[in-house]
Amino acid sequence: MQNKEDKQIIIHTDGAAKGNPGKGGWGTIIILDNKKVVELGDKVKLATNNQMELQAMIEGLKYVAQKIKPKDAQINIFSDSNYLLNGITSWIKSWQANGWQTKAKQDVLNKEYWEELSMYKEKLSQISLGNKLSFNKVKGHNGDPLNERCDDIASGFGLEEDVELFSGDLEKYKKVFSLPANVEKAVAKKVSSKKSSSSKQVYSYVSMVADKVFANKTWAECEKRVKGKSGAKYKKVFSKEEEQDLIALWTLKSLF
């Protein structure tokens, strides 16, 4: 039987529109417990880039909610879209409170997409209160192998190419990718450049146990996760950006 700390799901998403609006495509990669990989993607006749970014994340959460139905899992989601990440972590709260209208009393742009995304986000919480979703920024076109692959899938579908989607073992999957050393060094430098200070308020505690990456808001939760675990490591961070950078770095290291 798996322990709670052993369950992790990684989701990378990207969207593309050739014309914006134009022919669209989206791509999603789901990694289950650092063992199995599922690629998803499709084309759309007419869409904007933001709509395809939304669709990619909708399909990722939908797949996990309907086919995996995880319980007590850490779900780390990565996107290079500020629009998508700001919307799902911040703006969506006021939109929902206002009946999916803006402060100007107009319907939220891409309202149907946001409603569906919100629905699947809530479904994952309803399946198990132990499911924890973390939405993280990854810089696009910067060498991150999973982000690059998502872009290839989305762009390929947008160009109406024949895109072969992978489903199978992670070890087999990652043989077609390599982790550029300069990317890891760049992310590591960005993380290490943020000096810890006892005068700052801790934002969260990021830990890695058995190659699974987690973020906890309190030291008590983090300590419970890492205590007595061989090879476990942790680091306190002082901002959301610093948390996302560290999660991205440690996730890359654990996979590649």
Active site members: 14-15, 53, 80, 141, 151
Q: What is the DSSP letter of 5?
A: G
User: Would you tell me the crossing angle of helices 240-255 and 181-192 to the nearest 10 degrees?
Assistant: 150
Separation CA 38–CA 194 (nearest Å): 35
Closest CA to 37 of 166, 145, 147: 166
Closest CA to 84 of 156, 150, 23, 40: 150
DSSP-based three-state secondary structure for 19: coil
Count the helix, strand and coil residues of the chain and give each as a percent rounded to the nearest 5: 45, 25, 30
Reduce the secondary structure of 87-128 to three states and give it as a string. Answer: HHHHHHHHHHHCCCECCCCCECCCHHHHHHHHHHHHHHHHHC
Count other Cβ atoms within 10 Å, centred on residue 109: 13
Residues 99, 104, 109, CA angle at the centre, nearest 5°?
Answer: 65
- Residue 98: phi and psi, rounded to 5, are -100, 15
